[in-house]
Amino acid sequence: MKRFAIVLAAGQGKRMKSKLYKVLHPVCGKPMVGHVLDTVKKVQCERSIVVVGHGAEAVKSYLGTKAEYVLQAQQLGTGHAVKQAGTLLGQEEGTTIVICGDTPLVTEETLQAMLELHERQGAAATVLTASMDRPQGYGRIIRDSVKGSVARIVEQKDCSPEEDAVKEINTGTYCFDNAKLFAALEKVTNSNAQQEYYLTDVIGILVGEGEVVEGYMTEDFAESIGVNDRLALSEAEGYMRERINRKHMLNGVTIIDPSSTYIGADVVIGADTVIYPGSHISGATVIGEDCVIGPAAEIEDSRIEDGAKVKQSVLCQAEVGKETTVGPFAYLRPGAKLGEHVKVGDFVEIKNATLDDGSKVSHLSYIGDAKVGKNVNIGCGAITVNYDGYNKSITEIEDDAFIGSNVNLIAPVKVGKGAYVVAGSTITQSVPDNDVAIARNRQENKPGYAEKLRARAKAKKQKEQESFS
């Protein structure tokens, strides 16, 4: 049976009090609507329709070709929003999930279980429900006392005392027989106080027609959270972070202090890696096995191979090879690529540069727009001078070269294999293989001249004091 999804993402989200469109607010580094769309794709939905309204172009820009789109130009209720997808799905046969774009905590496992119940029972609709100790404000699920199926959904304001005591609530996520969904939508009216077309009315219509309506209760109440303000956003972030950390720990990753460790939704981490407190790992980062990360490492969209160590450093769009060490206090900027057994030490910045296997930049250096070969040693305070105010140029340092402390390599320049550059040199011309380059003035000592300098300074100070008296 074919499966489809309709993601409702047209609401403005005024309670967020934000210039950013509501469903684009991130939870663990990914916009909410991205979480939702990824989840429905995991349950084999062949087509995903995103209903957009406010901020439509921003949502389309983020999701791109991952979805199809329909516009809800006027916000006339959830039923009206779903009806807009009729132009794309109205003639299809199959099962359609309807889910809100601000419910990032709904899981693949829950959707799959709900779909299986729906299809097994031949239901016209199945409602995702949850149990809540204090369900004020939520629509109650009233079940048939004999069959146990859903008889109706009653909103809080319409509950009788008996209905008000029910703790099973409607989460706002459904799956429908697609043809019956769109047929029922034609019968929904806006005869209510808000003059809106409610999707919940479809449930009543289907029950009235003798159709089977099931309810699937999630075991995790967090899945019911819809984010409408910053408080709910924070709550969703907490639940998601706990869920992500738990998944990694169950997969063999040691997280020393989960409460102070932030790992993004799409991060991949290998077994026997240890994450120390204060680390923030986000984006499409992939970390191998047996790595040590942190404390206080910030890693975004980077790749770290097996056995590497990253301590108190920042990495953005960088690559770190096997058994390589980074930090503390290093900064790997976009385009930094480190080979195997490389050492990058404290207060080293690397940008758009490759360091091949076994090379070392131990401290206080800047390596930008450079190609560094194997087993190169770059001393303290050495820099590649890559920018002349207009253009950036490349520095090449070949295998087994030695770059002394406080060396300036003025790009474009090349240091050959096995060459030595003496400390304090400013290199403006290429250095051939196995040569030693010295580019500094010869030292000259002037005997006793320091005394003359001190006497001159003393006389100047005395003269200044006399002029003020």
Q: What is the pLDDT of residue 438?
A: 95
> Does 228 carry a binding-site annotation?
yes
pLDDT in tens, 334-343: 999 999 999 9
Report yes or no: 41 and 118 within 8 Å, Cβ to Cβ.
no
Architecture of domain 3-224: Alpha-Beta Complex (3.90)
Mean pLDDT over 156-174 rounds to 90
Distance CA 469, CA 466 (A): 5
Task: Flag the least confident range among 57-71, 117-131, 156-170, 333-347.
Answer: 156-170
> Does 391 carry a binding-site annotation?
no
Would you identify the CATH topology of the domain 253-437? UDP N-Acetylglucosamine Acyltransferase; domain 1 (2.160.10)
Give the DSSP H or E segment for 331: strand 331-332
Secondary structure E strands in 390-429: 395-397, 402-403, 408-410, 413-415, 420-421, 426-427
Mean pLDDT over 434-462 rounds to 90
> Does 178 carry a binding-site annotation?
no
Active site residue 363: yes
Other CB atoms within a 10 A radius of the CB of residue 441 amount to 6
Cα dihedral value 202, 207, 210, 212, nearest 10: 90
CB-based burial, 24-33: b 16+ in 10 Å, e otherwise? bbbbbbbbbb
Domain boundaries, the chain: 3-224, 253-437
Report field, pTM of the whole predicted structure over 0.75 = yes
> Does 102 carry a binding-site annotation?
yes
> Does 377 carry a binding-site annotation?
yes
Q: What is the pLDDT of residue 464?
A: 83
What SS3 class is residue 164? helix
Report yes or no: 187 and 237 within 8 Å, Cβ to Cβ.
no
Report yes or no: 170 and 163 within 8 Å, Cβ to Cβ.
no
Mean pLDDT over 278-302 rounds to 98
Q: What is the pLDDT of residue 252?
A: 98
The two domains 3-224 and 253-437 share their CATH topology (first three levels equal) = no
Instruction: Output Rg (C-alpha) for the chain, integer angstroms.
Output: 32
Higher pLDDT, 374 or 440: 374
Distance CA 378, CA 103 (A): 51
Mean pLDDT over 357-364 rounds to 97
Query: Which tokens go with 288?
Result: 């191998």
The three-point CA angle 351-356-362 to 5° equals 65
pLDDT band at 155 (very low <50, low <70, confident <90, very high): confident
Q: How far is CA 371 from the centre of its chain?
A: 30
> Does 72 carry a binding-site annotation?
yes
> Does 302 carry a binding-site annotation?
no
Cβ within 8 Å of residue 456, ≥6 positions away: none
What SS3 class is residue 244? helix
Mean pLDDT over 171-195 rounds to 93
Q: What is the pLDDT of residue 138?
A: 86
Is 90 exceeded by the pLDDT of residue 41? Answer: yes
Amino acid of residue 328: P
pLDDT in tens, 406-416: 999 999 999 99
Q: What is the pLDDT of residue 81?
A: 96
Q: What is the pLDDT of residue 469?
A: 67
Q: How far is CA 407 from the centre of its chain?
A: 39
Is 70 exceeded by the pLDDT of residue 281? Answer: yes
pLDDT in tens, 85-138: 999 999 999 999 999 999 999 999 999 999 999 999 999 999 999 998 888 888
Q: What is the pLDDT of residue 468?
A: 75
Report yes or no: 126 and 213 within 8 Å, Cβ to Cβ.
yes
> Does 215 carry a binding-site annotation?
no
pLDDT band at 157 (very low <50, low <70, confident <90, very high): confident
Q: pLDDT above 90 covers what percent of the chain?
A: 86
The rounded mean pLDDT for the chain is 95
> Does 170 carry a binding-site annotation?
yes
Catalytic residue among 35, 80, 341, 363: 363
pLDDT band at 13 (very low <50, low <70, confident <90, very high): confident
CB-based burial, 250-266: b 16+ in 10 Å, e otherwise? eeebebeebeebbbbbb
> Does 11 carry a binding-site annotation?
yes
pLDDT in tens, 191-250: 877 788 999 999 999 999 999 999 999 999 899 999 999 999 999 999 999 999 999 999
Distance CA 285, CA 300 (A): 6
> Does 456 carry a binding-site annotation?
no
> Does 9 carry a binding-site annotation?
yes
Report yes or no: 229 and 15 within 8 Å, Cβ to Cβ.
yes
> Does 155 carry a binding-site annotation?
yes
First vs last C-alpha separation in the chain: 101
> Does 78 carry a binding-site annotation?
yes
